[in-house]
Structure 1
Amino acid sequence: MTAADLAKRLPGIPTVRALSRSYAVLDAILSPDGSPTYTFDAHWAAGEELAAMTTGSGDEYSIVFTRAGAFIRGFDHESPMSPYRDDDTYATWPGLVESVPREFASQIDEPAFCHHVPTGKVLAATVCLWRLHDDPAWRCGDIAYPREGGLADPDGSGWMFAMLADATPEGYRAYAEDFFEVSLDPAAIREVFEHRPLTADLVRRINPEADLAALEETLETIGYPPGSPDREAGL
């Protein structure tokens, strides 16, 4: 799968935001070391929210929700489309960001999404997608993907965004049971996907060792449960 394929499979912006919140809440409950893979910051910047994923091994993504829409950046450090493929230029892959609309131009230069390189700085990205609120679907650049090696996932979009494309509690449960090596209550996972208020009982059903009181600051950062309908619709 490439970004072009992913653009056809991703749900709309409100669903991507809701899913991202759910992942962040569940990962926070399941992460005893306080280092979740999925996070969400409802106070990232004025009028902006940030959903993020990091593997801790150099791979990451960010989704910035703005008043204009949403911008997605993914970085697979082993992708042949990495800006590190050429140590002389450190450039993003041709077509990746050239057609990003002006509404998201600031995300291309966002320090949190860039790496410092000998030539200055470069956006750490092998995947870029975006969607304005008026757009009928997600969009990406006109890209000639590398063909060497017969890679089915040359930019990393398939494995990085599989759960968002799947958009089901079962998808998250499969990831979490493998990653955290636990058995999870499907009904409890679904309650978080439905954005039910967290109770001490619900938290214990997900992770018997987790404490609701200890999660209060994280839940405030995530903005969980979500705020008013007006906030959900347009930040």
Structure 2
Amino acid sequence: MTVHEVARALPDIAVLRDRCRALAVLDAILSPQWESRYYSFDSRWAHGEEMASMRNGSGDEYSIVFLAAGAFIRGFDHESPMSPAFSEFGEVWPGVADSVPEVFADCMSEPAFSFEGGLAATVCLWRQRTDDRWHTGEIEFPAGPDPDGAHRLFAVLTDATPLAYRRFAEDYYEQRLDGAATADIHALRPLTNDVVRRLNPELSIADLAEDLAQIGYPVRPDERQP
């Protein structure tokens, strides 16, 4: 899988945003300490902007910025031969970001996404509100099964079912997950204390209040107290 396959597998912007929020809530429940989480979502990223992110703690990451113009995705696989770290001047691999529309210029120059003054990216995708699909650059990939790291970075996000996240989390957190509870959150159903405790018996919705507010995830009105 390369960025081209990811572009074909991703849902539209609204569905992607919901999926990102669900992943963030699942990680917030399984990992109360933010530093240990893979997936996050910040509905307060900037004025009129939200950001979903993934960080694996080993240098691989992605950022998805949702803004009025549409959505911009940056992925970075630090071991990919396409990493700016392997270019002479820290440059992004040819074609990855050359054709990103001007409406996403602020995302391209965002300091949080930078590597030695340039964009830290081996993958870029974008979609404006009026587009009917995700776009990528014209890229000549180096040899290898996952040259830009797109499969490793986005395999969970491109799966329309909760199974990919469940497999990931059971391996990473070394615990069995309640399948029905995982599916409820993946479907963005309003959160209940029962669902939370089936995934983490030590937590309640009250414990997650700040995370849920930051993520913008719905809570069933009668379940806001422990």
TM-score bracket, shorter-length normalisation: over 0.9
Equivalence map 1:90-129=2 (5 Å) = 90-115=90-115, 117=116, 121-129=117-125
Q: Does 1:146 align with 2:147?
A: no
Which residue in the other structure is 1:68 paired with?
69
Residue 174 of structure 1 aligns to a residue whose secondary structure is helix
Amino acid at match of 2:187: E
Determine which of 198, 209, 213 is the counterpart of 1:220: 213
SS in 1 for 2:11: coil
Aligned pair partner of 1:161 in 140, 154, 165: 154
Q: Amino acid of the residue matched to residue 191 of structure 1?
A: D
Match of 1:14, SS state, is: helix
TM-score (norm 1): 0.89
Q: How far does the alpha carbon of each residue in 1:48-103 deviate from its partner, in whole angstroms, 9 at most, with x for none?
A: 110000001111000001111110000000000000102x3110001111100111
User: What's the CA shift for 1:165?
Assistant: 1.3
Identity score, percent:
55
Map of 1:25-64 to 2, 5 A cutoff? Answer: 25-35=25-35, 36-64=37-65
Q: Which AA in structure 2 matches 1:57?
A: S
The answer to whether the Cα contact below 8 Å between 1:96 and 1:128 also exists between their aligned partners in 2 is yes
Partner of 1:164, secondary structure, is coil
Q: CA deviation at 1:211?
A: 3.1
Correspondence for 2:184: 191
CA RMSD of aligned residues (A): 1.2
Q: Normalized against structure 2, the TM-score is what?
A: 0.93
5+ long unaligned stretches in structure 2: 220-226
Tell me the alpha carbon deviations over residues 155-204 of structure 1, each in whole angstroms, 9 at most, x when there is no partner.
Answer: 00011101121121112111111111111111111111222222222110
Superposition pairs for residues 75-90 of structure 1, below 5 Å?
Answer: 75-86=76-87, 88-90=88-90
Residue 132 of structure 2 aligns to which amino acid in structure 1? P
Alignment gaps of 5+ in structure 1: 227-235
Q: Which residue of 2 aligns with 1:130?
A: 126
Contact 1:30/1:210 (<8 A) preserved: no
Equivalent pairs counted in the alignment come to 218
Partner of 1:233: none
Q: 1:109-142: CA deviations, max 9, x gaps?
A: 0011012x3xxx0111000000111111111000
